[in-house]
Amino acid sequence: MEKEFKDKLVHFVQEALVEDVGAGDYTSLSTIKEDQLGQAQLLVKEPGILAGVDVAAEIFHQLDSDMEFEQLISDGSAVRPGDIAFRLKGNIHTILKGERLVLNIMQRMSGIATQTSKYVLAVAGTKAKVLDTRKTTPLLRFLEKKAVEIGGGVNHRFGLYDMILIKDNHVDYAGGISEAVKAAFAYKKLNDLGIQIEVEVRNFEELQEVLALPTVDRVMFDNFTPAQVQEAVAMVDGRLVTEASGGITLETIADYAKAGVDYISVGALTHTVKSLDLSLKAKLI
């Protein structure tokens, strides 16, 4: 687990436990001896792609470094009902304290990984890669984008700070594509920013304008049909990285991929997802 991700996870777990546990897990404190040991296992209850096992291990070890965590299935694996992802052995209070946090994360991440894997499968055999977006749950983006990776997708920019992405509102506020692009290059040079510039276009006229300007890194075709994307890709002729976006579904993504685009961004990977059904089953030692 990379350091930046782990640092975010440590902070997230601390905040999540404050929210959930507060002054204490009074149910466990009142019904179970504090030094009592137990076991538990993570049960898969529906088919999908598992994600968040490594996160679960880190959470339980943050809660109690003595917790025994036996991983049986790795992130990215296809699972089916009855599979056991991991087993725990340790303090019962710790198991119960981490139960809902781990389930909430793993169910959400596994749902995203499962959804992503379907889109990735739909574009198999083409050069297109499936991208996520910033349409994520606030403060959970690092986990949701990790789930996209686990499902076989590719992360787009993480936030507003790691790419200049000139979209329709930027163009309209700036007074046009030419004005926005020229200002972006000037700002990037002035501030010595080593980040890419991408421009969203809404029609062929805007695409022609982008192609006549100093070369940006990527162009996004927003709400183009597959036929229009194919024509736009031909116009770009390899000069820029190409991306299709806007209302692309599991039913239509293959047509966009066959149009020859490099990337296809899909907000539904993270904003419209059914969590995978998982359960943590307890057992006394």
Task: Kindly list the averaged pLDDT for each block of 10 residues, start to end, along the chain of length 285.
Answer: 90 93 94 95 98 96 96 98 98 96 98 98 98 96 98 97 97 96 97 97 97 96 98 97 97 98 98 96 83
pLDDT in tens, 106-149: 999 999 999 999 999 999 999 999 999 999 999 999 999 999 99
- Annotated active-site residue in 89, 135, 157, 182: 135
DSSP 275: P
Tokens found for residue 94: 């710790």
Active site residue 200: yes
Active site residue 80: no
Beta bridge partner(s), residue 284: 38
Contacts of 158 (CB under 8 A, 6+ apart): 141, 142, 145
Q: What is the pTM of this model?
A: 0.95
- Annotated active-site residue in 6, 89, 157, 167: 167
Phi-psi region for residue 190, left (φ > 0), alpha (ψ -120 to 50) or beta? alpha
Whole-Å CA distances, 26 to 30, 58, 99, 222? 6, 24, 15, 52
- Annotated active-site residue in 58, 200, 206, 243: 200
Active site residue 100: yes
CA 20 to chain centre: 24
Active site residue 135: yes
